[in-house]
């Protein structure tokens, strides 16, 4: 279990990025022996990691256009975006490198965080010099909410080079009346979500996959394990996930 607490340095680094740190739940299957040798706890700083280290990254929620300046997508760490003044929200996670992890941002609590109100899109990011950022991905608007995401980290010699969302496809929800295919992902009607008149916990779940090499050039391969596991039920590994989320996820795997 590794939940990043922003240090004061990191607060400064991210002050431009977002105003609120969300309540986070990080579920990791095990803590590897050997421990965490990565002393970088800030999402807006560069780190070189090895397998088993913690790795801090951020997820910013805002409108799609808020992630661009002059037609170029900048890192949420870049002050030119002024995300905080646009009402963006920030979540910070510290999963273990090359461990299969499922992260969630709890949106089901009454009066809690609502991704649609924050603009409906999210970008994952880490680093300053390399400033890796994923493309913006649709999460929620008043019509639809996507609840299941796969985020791929590509490292080269332990430095994050690239972050991207892997669309889960819509075969799992085809023919199900409460679901629609949005950008190659299953989206549930927002009206079905708790807090919107429905009963489904629509908290977004983010499954992580690692690829490339660590700083000792050891190959990261949790991506391979995830693709192998997807045909069964990854969620079964995370028995401490709340029932509503688990049963919702079981639709997708």
Ligand X SMILES: *[C@@H]1O[C@H](CO)[C@@H](O)[C@H](O)[C@H]1NC(C)=O
Task: Report the interface residues with ligand X, using CB under 6 A.
Answer: 25, 104, 106, 108-109, 138, 141-144, 178, 182, 189, 192, 198-201, 203, 242, 245
β-pairing, 102-105 vs 24-27, is: antiparallel
Residue (94 or 215) nearer to ligand X, CB: 94
β-pairing, 205-212 vs 148-156, is: parallel
Residue (203 or 222) nearer to ligand X, CB: 203
Residues in a beta bridge with 152: 164, 209
Residue (59 or 132) nearer to ligand X, CB: 59
Minimum Å distance from CB 119 to ligand X?
Answer: 11
Residue with tokens 């950008």: 183
Distance from C-alpha of 10 to C-alpha of 43, rounded to nearest angstrom: 8
**Strands of the sheet with 185-189, listed across from one edge:** 144-146, 185-189, 179-182
Minimum Å distance from CB 221 to ligand X?
Answer: 28
Mark out the alpha helices in the chain (DSSP H runs).
8-15, 222-230, 243-249
Residue (108 or 213) nearer to ligand X, CB: 108
Residue (109 or 219) nearer to ligand X, CB: 109
Measured at the CA of 71, the angle between CA 70 and CA 74, to 5 degrees, comes to 80
Minimum Å distance from CB 29 to ligand X?
Answer: 17
Minimum Å distance from CB 50 to ligand X?
Answer: 31
Minimum Å distance from CB 108 to ligand X?
Answer: 4
Minimum Å distance from CB 92 to ligand X?
Answer: 17
Residue (25 or 100) nearer to ligand X, CB: 25
Task: Output DSSP code: residue 143.
Answer: S
β-pairing, 185-189 vs 205-212, is: unpaired
């Amino acid at each position: 279990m590794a939940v990043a607490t922003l240090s004061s340095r990191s607060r400064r680094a991210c002050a431009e990025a977002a105003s609120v740190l969300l309540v986070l739940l990080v579920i990791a299957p095990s803590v590897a022996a050997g421990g965490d040798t990565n002393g970088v706890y800030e999402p807006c700083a560069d780190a070189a990691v090895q397998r088993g280290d913690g790795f801090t990254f951020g997820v910013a929620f805002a409108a799609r256009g808020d992630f661009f300046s002059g037609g170029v997508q900048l890192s949420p760490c870049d002050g030119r975006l002024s995300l905080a003044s646009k009402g963006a929200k920030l979540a910070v996670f510290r999963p273990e490198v090359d461990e299969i992890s499922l992260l969630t941002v709890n949106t089901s609590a009454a009066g809690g965080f609502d991704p649609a109100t924050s603009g409906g899109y999210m970008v994952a990011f880490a680093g300053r010099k390399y400033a890796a950022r994923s493309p913006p991905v649709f999460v929620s608007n008043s019509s639809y909410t996507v609840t299941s995401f796969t985020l791929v980290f590509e490292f080269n010699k332990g430095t994050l080079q690239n972050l991207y969302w892997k669309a889960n496809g819509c075969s799992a929800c085809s023919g199900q009346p409460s679901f629609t295919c949005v950008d190659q992902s299953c989206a549930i009607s927002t009206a079905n979500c708790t807090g919107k008149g429905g009963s489904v916990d629509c908290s977004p779940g983010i499954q992580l996959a690692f690829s490339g090499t660590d700083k000792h050039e050891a190959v990261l391969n949790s991506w391979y394990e995830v693709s192998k596991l997807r045909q069964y039920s990854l969620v079964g590994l995370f028995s401490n996930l709340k029932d509503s989320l688990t049963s919702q996820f079981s639709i997708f795997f």
